[in-house]
Structure 1
Amino acid sequence: MPRIPLLVIALFFLTGGIAHFVIADFFIKAMPDYLGYHKELVLISGVLEILGAIGILIPQTRLLAGYGVIALIIAIYPANIHMALHPEKYTNISTLLLYIRLPCQFLFVWFVWWAIAPERLKTNPIS
């Protein structure tokens, strides 16, 4: 039976992944201008979020999915920075929330790292 933190992670990423398809325009608008293929990147990240959500619930894929989710959080960080630097594009989101979200990403990386600790420690007892 999955542990509660794993369910929280799965729900968060499943919801986010689905949102990448349902409200793709919002995520496309969040993409930094220096990146190309905005729509494609949004759709790919949506698929990866859904796969991470499913994978984190399966014991055999949990460790790989956890590392993948952490990599994805890091990969989308530039979009979060872009949103914080351009709050005028996101009038329905508080500027304060856009900035608070930035350090929260690091907390979420830690949360995933902590949630997959039993699997990490089975593989490498030193980590």
Structure 2
Amino acid sequence: MSVGYVVAGVLHFVVPDLYVQIVPPVLPAPLALVYLSGVAEIAVGLGLLYPPTREYAAWGTVLLLLAVFPANVYMATSGVVVEGVPGDGDPSTVARWARLPLQAVLVAWAWWYTRPMPGGGE
């Protein structure tokens, strides 16, 4: 889980235009929000690796997933064409809608890490 968040966060800086496209237009400063979410993803990813910060990072991950959920809803419902996606291009309608329940799975996975490790885990 940790590596996935760090990689995703770095991608926010490598291909920010890809992420800017799915920021709902009602939100201000899309590029700043992309960078902010990238920093947050890197921070929680690294925090999950270090036992003393794992529980806090897991709660941060839950909050981050809730914060970015509107972008996933916007992507699924708006019909926006996402340009610059690697492979064969724009995600399919099925893939766009599949991201929504996947967020619940990711929240559950992060929530699992909010529990203290047996024996203190340090």
Match of 1:12 among 4, 20, 26: 4
Aligned to 2:73: 81
Query: CA offsets per residue over residues 43-89 of structure 1, 9 Å max, x none?
Result: 01100100100000101111110000110000000000000012341
Aligned to 1:6: none
Report the CA distance between 1:114 and its aligned residue: 1.5
1:47 pairs with 2:39: yes
Matches within 5 A, 1:1-127: 9-90=1-82, 92-119=90-117
User: Against the structure 1 CA distance between its residues 20 and 119, is the aligned structure 2 distance closer, same or farther, given a 3 Å change threshold?
Assistant: same
Percent identity among equivalent residues? Answer: 33
Q: Which amino acid aligns with 1:106?
A: A
Q: Which amino acid aligns with 1:109?
A: V
* TM-align CA RMSD: 1.8
Q: Which amino acid aligns with 2:93?
A: T
TM-score computed with the length of structure 2 as normaliser? 0.86
Task: Say which is worse superposed, 91-100 or 54-63, in terms of deviation.
Answer: 91-100
Q: Distance in 2 between matches of 1:78 and 1:121?
A: 38
User: Against the structure 1 CA distance between its residues 121 and 83, is the aligned structure 2 distance closer, same or farther, given a 3 Å change threshold?
Assistant: farther
Report the CA distance between 1:120 and its aligned residue: 9.4
TM-score computed with the length of structure 1 as normaliser? 0.83
Aligned residues: 114
Q: Which amino acid aligns with 1:64?
A: Y
Gaps in structure 2 of 5+ consecutive residues: 83-88
Query: CA offsets per residue over residues 7-46 of structure 1, 9 Å max, x none?
Result: xx11110111011001100111110000001111100110
CA contact (8 A) 2:54 2:113 kept: no
Report the CA distance between 1:92 and its aligned residue: 1.7
